[in-house]
Amino acid sequence: MSLLRYTVYRLLQAIPVMFGIAVVTFLMVNLAPGDPVDYMISEELASEELIASIEARYGLDEPLWRQFLNYLGFSWFLGLLGVPGFADAPPGLLQGDLGLSMYYDRPVSELMLTRIPPTLMLVLSAYAFALTLAIPLGVVAANRRNKPTDHISRIIALFGVSTPSFWIGIMLIVIFGVWLGILPTGRMVYPWRDPAFYGYGNHLELWYQTLRHLFLPVVALGTLQMAVIMRVERSSMIESLQSEYVQLARAYGVSERTILRKHAFRPSQLPVITLIGLNLTTSLGGAVLIETVFAINGMGRLIVQSIQTLDYQLILGTTIVLGFVFVIGVIITDLAYAYIDPRVTYGEEA
């Protein structure tokens, strides 16, 4: 199987999962006891007509299965095919339409569009931070197994996985923002905006300021990932160092340095890659808290707002999209895995 074929294969495999995400979220939101319309209007104002008109506007007057088909965008297709009863069905998920936010009264997709980049920026930077620290630390710890360096880095990693990220965020704000006052703690700036918007002279300054603003949230979000990746890197490196091919390299006079950097290193990255993919969901969840602590207008904050305002459509849309982001992330890491490990694309997939 070539890499291309494998890519197609993985994408096809993702379809049922994405469908599953939509089903699970849709059911959870719609089978919950509350009624969205109740939350929208106060009791005094509630009249039959008002409720009916609101329900009609958001498509809540139809049976649940029909709502689901509408939401996914199947109805739209059925309408296109001329199936009776679906004549003028609205576009849905498949057409990129996630409905209307009840609180903002704007399309959900439009609301999300500006919120996705900050979250991606945050999560990806956190991974960059985590990897640059975790990989060398993990390798060093594995190489000095059961020596002081190893013990110290293991304990640090254990603390890393035991500490809530938002609390780290709060502590960082207290230390760097309040006590030392050397780093900004809120009002994130985004590099894709016009520098003049923030009153900066040029793009270079904007980038510099972005980095400064990003630093604390990235450390807060990245610490957990760093710790987790370091632990896995360490154990997989240890396994790799004990493997027969490393012993063979030793027996042929390859220097320890080369063994560490080449022979043992590359195979040991495989579990790390898998882990990065699977942990994307934890990072996205963590982003919700970090965005709240550092007041970043990303997807996480949008979700929190949507829950505060009980904006059903927005809750549905944001949750599904986060799930999709995860699925796509996993596919990307799987391809990276296949790139490193030639066995994956050979014959049956791993």
Partner 1 sequence: MSEPLLTVRDLKTQFYTDRGAVRAVDGVSFDVEQGEIVGLVGESGAGKSVTTSSILRLVEEPGEVVGGKVRYGDRTLVGFDEAAVADEDGRPKLVHSEEMLSNREMREEVRGNEIAIIFQDPMESLNPVYTVGGQVREFIQINRDMSKEEAREEAIEMLRRVGIPEAEDRYSDYPHEFSGGMRQRVLIAMALGCRPNLIIADEPTTALDVTVEGQILELVDDLVDEFDTSFIWVTHDMGVVAEICDRVNVMYLGRIVEQGPVDEIFHDTKHPYTEALLNSIPRPDRTVSDLSPIKGTMPGAMNPPAGCRFHPRCPDARRACREVEPDLLEVGLDHRSACIKHGEVGYWESEPLEHTEAQPETVEGPR
Partner 2 sequence: MSQTTERLDEVETGEPILEVEGLTKYFQSDSGFLAGLFGSDDVKAVDDVSFELRRGETLALVGESGCGKSTLARAILQLIEPTAGSVRFKGVELTETGSRELRPLRRDMQMIFQDPQSSLNPRMKVGPIIEEPMKAHDMYDAAERRERAKELLERVELEREYYNRYPHEFSGGQRQRINLARAMSTDPELIVCDEPVSALDVSVQAQVLNTMRDLQEEFGFTYLMISHDLSVVRYIADRVAVMYLGHLAELAEKEELFENPGHPYTEALLGAIPVPDPRVANARGTLEGDVPSPINPPSGCRFRTRCPVLVQPRRADIDAHETSEEVDTATLSEYGMSDAEWERTLAFTRGVRRRTFALREGGLDEEETVSRSEVETVVEREFFDGTRPDGDPGRVVEEAIALLSEGAWGEAGDLLSTTFEETSICALERPRYTIEPQYGTGTHFAACHHHRE
Partner 3 sequence: MAIGEQQTREEDGGADDEFEANVGWRYTLGRIKSDTTARFGLAVIALVLAVTVITAIDTHLSRLTFGALDDYMLAQAAPMLDHPTRHPDPGTSERRMPPFFVDGGSGSITDNPLGTDEAGRDYLTRLIYGTQISVFVGLTATAIGMGVGTVVGAVSGYYGGWVDDVLMRFVESLYAIPALVLVIVFTVLVSGNNPDITYAAVGVAITFIPVFARLIRSRVLSVREMDYVEAARATGVKDRDILMRHVIPNSFAPVLVLATLQIGVTILIVAGLSFLGYGAQPPTPDWGQMLNVSHQYMLSNPWMSVWPGVAIMITIFGFNLFGDGLQDALDPRIK
Interaction site with partner 3 (CB under 8 A): 16-17, 19-21, 23-25, 28-29, 32-34, 39, 146, 158-159, 161-164, 166-167, 170-171, 173-174, 178-179, 235, 238-239, 242, 247, 281-282, 284-286, 288-289, 292-293, 303-304, 307, 310, 315, 318-319, 322-324, 326-327
Q: Which is nearer to partner 3, 19 or 346 (by Cβ)?
A: 19
Tokens, residue 157: 């990693």
State the binding partner of 162 from partner 1, partner 3, partner 2, none, CB within 5 to 8 A by kind. partner 3
Q: Are 223 and 163 in contact (CB under 8 A)?
A: yes
User: Smallest distance, Å, CB 241 to partner 1?
Assistant: 10
Q: Which is nearer to partner 2, 8 or 80 (by Cβ)?
A: 8
Q: Which is nearer to partner 2, 5 or 203 (by Cβ)?
A: 5
State the binding partner of 343 from partner 3, partner 1, partner 2, none, CB within 5 to 8 A by kind. partner 1
CB-neighbour burial class of residue 297 (10 A; exposed 0-12, middle 13-18, buried 19+): middle
Name the residue with tokens 């703690």.
185
State the binding partner of 348 from partner 1, partner 2, partner 3, none, CB within 5 to 8 A by kind. partner 2
Is the four-CA dihedral 124, 324, 71, 82 of positive or negative sign? Answer: positive
C-alpha 319/C-alpha 88 separation (Å) is: 27
User: Smallest distance, Å, CB 8 to partner 2?
Assistant: 9
Q: Which is nearer to partner 1, 173 or 241 (by Cβ)?
A: 241
Tokens, residue 176: 């760097």
Q: Are 101 and 313 in contact (CB under 8 A)?
A: yes
Tokens, residue 45: 């104002």
Diameter over CA atoms, the chain = 86
**Which residues of the chain form contacts with partner 2 (CB under 8 A)?**
5, 9, 12-13, 16, 347-348
C-alpha 339/C-alpha 3 separation (Å) is: 8
State the binding partner of 9 from partner 3, partner 1, partner 2, none, CB within 5 to 8 A by kind. partner 2
User: Smallest distance, Å, CB 9 to partner 2?
Assistant: 6
State the binding partner of 253 from partner 1, partner 3, partner 2, none, CB within 5 to 8 A by kind. partner 1
C-alpha 123/C-alpha 108 separation (Å) is: 22
C-alpha 168/C-alpha 190 separation (Å) is: 23
Q: Which is nearer to partner 3, 275 or 288 (by Cβ)?
A: 288
- Please name which of 27, 115, 117 lies closest in space to residue 72, comparing C-alpha atoms: 27
State the binding partner of 342 from partner 2, partner 3, partner 1, none, CB within 5 to 8 A by kind. partner 1
State the binding partner of 109 from partner 1, partner 2, partner 3, none, CB within 5 to 8 A by kind. none
Cα-to-chain-centroid distance, residue 167 = 20
C-alpha 71/C-alpha 88 separation (Å) is: 14
